[in-house]
Structure 1
Amino acid sequence: MKKIAIISALLPLAAGLCGAAGKKPADDAVARANGIAFKFYAAEAQKPGNVFFSPYSMYTAFAMAYEGAAGSTAKEIASVFSFPAKTKDLRAGLGAIKKDLERAAKDAEFVQANSFWAQKDFKFLPAYLKTLRSAYGADAMQADFLGKTEAARRGINAWTENKTRGKIRELFPQGSLDQLTRLVLVNAVYFKGRWKAPFKKEMTSEADFTLDGGTKTRVHMMAAPGTREAEYGETGELQAVRLPYAGGGLSMLVLLPKEGRTLADLERSFSPEKLEEIRKGLFNQKVKVFLPRFKFSSGYKLNGALAGLGMPEAFTDKADFSGMEKGKRLYIQTAFHKAFVEVSEEGTEAAAATGVAMGLKSMVMDFAVFRADRPFMFFIEDPKSGLVLFMGRMQNPAAQ
């Protein structure tokens, strides 16, 4: 199994960054946006295989749905995604995060985009659609789910594929939208960055990677001549190394359980506080890094997972999305998240999309050695703000 790249699109609605001194809007927003990362990862970590998703994409996509939610439906969504009670605070936080990300990714290829696809002639509240356009910069698209459902689905998937440079395809599978679909919300994220200190292709060689249970598989292990200056740290249970991308704004943080420990040991006690403690324990030093080359895609249907995390009402006839239209006729029909990641000698390419469809109710030496030859966790993040852009688990680099 596999789970890595991330793209977020809000599913169709069926009718029926921290500074020690003085907080900025992004500070609280980053903590809130990272919350869903740990909740969703904890749920998926119970299943075998690789994991990869974009908490930022999911957070943004469902923020657009939250804008139209009310009553207990809004409270449940807010509890799962840690949204602030006031949507103006949510918008300000997301706006600050967006600016910080654009700064951090200035030397990389980075795309973040939103869109909404509304059933023609359906009476949505003008204020809601205006908010999607102005506050979220969403592309406004008209669709005919009633008469041309398949054409609408293909159009949404084509938009998503284009924004993610072809890495996220078929966000909404065939049959996932129907004649009762009235609105689809989509968020897409794409990142392609080169390592600040690339690995050397001529030094990549086959090596053993020890899977959980002790079985070994052969992988392409990347390396570079000599050592590199990198932020490195270790505790009694793990080693951590930060590998920056060109420009230094974004980086990959890799957490590797020490010999004798498993990734499951690390996952059991993992939390936002634990991650921050690990970050604070990183110091520049010489490190010899070995990292497997890997590439995989992941896909999730979010209905059950999000309901299990605490927001079941939004997926039922009890849903209240009266902030979208007056009749309380809409509920979340389905929601999907797909992601892609490729880590190579040159750098990293990652993408993700989230779709929400709304429908009508019916060791000691002078340098450290970091050899990732067993399962590990990894993050693509903004070290300055702490925002987790992508999060993943690599159990088997040979899995496609």
Structure 2
Amino acid sequence: MNKLRFLLVATVGLSLWVVTGCSVKECCGPAPSARQLRIAAPLVQQTSAFAFDAFKRLNQSATGGDVFFSPLSLHMALGMVLNGANGTTKTEMLKVLNADGQSLMDLNQAYSQLMQDLPLLDPQVQIKLANSVWYRNGFTVTPAFQNTLTTSFLASVSGLDFNAPASVGIINDWAGSKTNGLIPKVLESLRPDEVMLLLNAIYFKGDWKAQFDPAKTVDLPFTLANGSKKQVKMMRLDTDLRRAFRPTYTAFELPYGSGNTAMTVLLPTPENTADKLLSTLTPADWTQLQTDMTGGKIDIGLPRFKLRYETELNDILSQMGMPTAFTPRADFTGINPNGGLLLTSVKQKAYVAVDEKGTTAAAVTSVGVGVTSLGPQPYLCDRPFVVVIHEKASGTILFMGKIANPTESL
């Protein structure tokens, strides 16, 4: 039987996040009184385990180079598709998402809570979330699948003339608007066999709680992975921060806004490397680090940087344990009862900018489905280092990256 094709796109904008097709006031109701995420612990554990597994595999293919992506965007994008999967396809996807011990209903509830609470987390940090689904006019989508997307993921679901040239612009405009222009284009064209496009958008913009003084930014050499050096604008900050000192790296936390979100920087010791650090770092190590970090004086240097990152994830997701979804044996009858759907392409584009004031970031995950988707010394980040942007109360990881060649201009 011929296989039909659909495309799923998750767009994420860093400043912190995006995912929702409406404003906070329109869809999310009153803010949680404590301004804390009501996410069940399993989702945090699932996304963290998923994040580190994916990050390590991405880094293996980019040794010595930059890596930056949103594991949460990818997890949520696959979570939407999961609701249309059955049989072995569903079993494998649940395992890769580390959700095989949880019911789909509970998982969807956790996504729903995340959608509602994250935008309201901190009035000093801009976070937007948005989901949308576009399907080819005439293509049948099961009512149950549509209902799940609209209720759990707050997605807008719309039919569209995929043959009309203007359709690509409509979808790109949606992505651009939900990421404040950081991801203005997710599509070049729609293929004739594409029948559906799912988009998850995430956007984040946060100012440092303790900002760097631009007058103290200096030109300093940054040592690349190959040993060569380049000049960077090194921002300096000498203040009280949460930090921890490990035998192979030093970690310090730079909070945004009211302190509910933060960037944690992991700087390898001079005799170590970021690649070695990432090859051994585990979710358990990350959890323990959050416990062990304590407040104290530390003198740090962080380079200003901007980067764009793009990667295809088909092979990585197959290696992680969900190969069936990419083959004619895939079962997505939860989307269309006639079946004939498989994932053809999973990609993510990401953007991040860090300066004296704060951080802005964005990412786009696309999934195609087709016919048969310590002390007084300064800790200068003058060599490749690791960054993790996360929500602190629950430990939810929003973005992860390895900065190997910081660049200010793109």
In structure 2, the CA distance between the partners of 1:116 and 1:154, relative to structure 1 (3 Å rule), is same
Q: For residue 243 of structure 1, give the secondary structure of its aligned residue in structure 2.
A: strand
Question: Residue 343 of structure 1 aligns with which residue?
Answer: 354
Residue 200 of structure 1 aligns with an amino acid whose one-letter code is: D
Residue 383 of structure 2 aligns with an amino acid whose one-letter code is: R
Contact 1:207 1:221 in 2 (8 A): yes
Residue 239 of structure 2 aligns with an amino acid whose one-letter code is: R
* Alignment of 1:136 onto 2:150: no
Q: Which moved more, 1:274-283 or 1:388-397?
A: 274-283
Residue 76 of structure 2 aligns with an amino acid whose one-letter code is: T
In structure 2, the CA distance between the partners of 1:5 and 1:239, relative to structure 1 (3 Å rule), is farther
CA RMSD of aligned residues (A): 2.1
Superposition map of 1:358-369 within 5 A: 358-361=369-372, 364=375, 367=376, 369=378
Question: Residue 297 of structure 2 aligns with which residue?
Answer: 286
Q: Deviations over 1:168-200 (max 9, x none)?
A: 13323x35x311111111111110100011101
Offset of residue 8 of structure 1: 9.2
Question: Residue 202 of structure 1 aligns with which residue?
Answer: 215
> For 1:206 and 1:302, how far apart are their aligned partners in 2?
36
In structure 2, the CA distance between the partners of 1:25 and 1:109, relative to structure 1 (3 Å rule), is closer
In structure 2, the CA distance between the partners of 1:99 and 1:133, relative to structure 1 (3 Å rule), is closer
Q: Deviations over 1:319-360 (max 9, x none)?
A: 100111111122223222111100000000011222223233
* Alignment of 1:163 onto 2:178: yes
Q: For residue 96 of structure 1, give the secondary structure of its aligned residue in structure 2.
A: helix
Question: Residue 78 of structure 1 aligns with which residue?
Answer: 94
Q: For residue 98 of structure 1, give the secondary structure of its aligned residue in structure 2.
A: helix
* Alignment of 1:114 onto 2:113: no
Q: Deviations over 1:293-312 (max 9, x none)?
A: 00011112222221222212
Q: For residue 333 of structure 2, give the secondary structure of its aligned residue in structure 1.
A: coil
> For 1:83 and 1:143, how far apart are their aligned partners in 2?
33
Contact 1:195 1:246 in 2 (8 A): yes
Contact 2:18 2:129 in 1 (8 A): no
Superposition map of 1:177-326 within 5 A: 177-224=190-237, 227-326=238-337
Q: For residue 73 of structure 2, give the secondary structure of its aligned residue in structure 1.
A: helix
Q: For residue 308 of structure 1, give the secondary structure of its aligned residue in structure 2.
A: helix
Contact 2:222 2:229 in 1 (8 A): yes
> For 1:222 and 1:187, how far apart are their aligned partners in 2?
33
> For 1:272 and 1:266, how far apart are their aligned partners in 2?
13
Residue 305 of structure 1 aligns with an amino acid whose one-letter code is: I
Question: Residue 24 of structure 2 aligns with which residue?
Answer: none
| TM-score between the two structures when normalised by the length of structure 2 | 0.86
> For 1:281 and 1:329, how far apart are their aligned partners in 2?
50
Contact 1:194 1:245 in 2 (8 A): yes
Q: For residue 209 of structure 1, give the secondary structure of its aligned residue in structure 2.
A: strand
Gaps spanning 5+ residues in structure 2: where? 1-11, 20-37
> For 1:139 and 1:393, how far apart are their aligned partners in 2?
34
Offset of residue 99 of structure 1: 4.3
Q: For residue 158 of structure 2, give the secondary structure of its aligned residue in structure 1.
A: strand
* Alignment of 1:96 onto 2:107: no
Offset of residue 5 of structure 1: 6.6
Q: Deviations over 1:182-219 (max 9, x none)?
A: 11111111101000111011111110111113211110
Contact 2:389 2:397 in 1 (8 A): yes
Gaps spanning 5+ residues in structure 1: where? 10-23
Contact 2:119 2:126 in 1 (8 A): no
> For 2:166 and 2:323, how far apart are their aligned partners in 1?
30
Q: Deviations over 1:138-166 (max 9, x none)?
A: 02222222x33x43333222211111111
Contact 1:186 1:355 in 2 (8 A): yes
Contact 1:117 1:185 in 2 (8 A): yes
Q: For residue 378 of structure 2, give the secondary structure of its aligned residue in structure 1.
A: strand
Q: For residue 179 of structure 1, give the secondary structure of its aligned residue in structure 2.
A: coil
Question: Residue 396 of structure 2 aligns with which residue?
Answer: 387
> For 1:8 and 1:151, how far apart are their aligned partners in 2?
24
Question: Residue 367 of structure 2 aligns with which residue?
Answer: 356
Q: For residue 167 of structure 2, give the secondary structure of its aligned residue in structure 1.
A: helix
Offset of residue 103 of structure 1: 4.1
Contact 1:5 1:296 in 2 (8 A): no
Contact 2:40 2:110 in 1 (8 A): yes
Percent identical pairs in the alignment equals: 33
Contact 1:8 1:355 in 2 (8 A): no
Offset of residue 239 of structure 1: 0.4
> For 1:356 and 1:45, how far apart are their aligned partners in 2?
21
Q: For residue 212 of structure 1, give the secondary structure of its aligned residue in structure 2.
A: coil
> For 2:392 and 2:253, how far apart are their aligned partners in 1?
9
Q: Deviations over 1:344-394 (max 9, x none)?
A: 000000112222232332x64xx4532111110001101211000111000
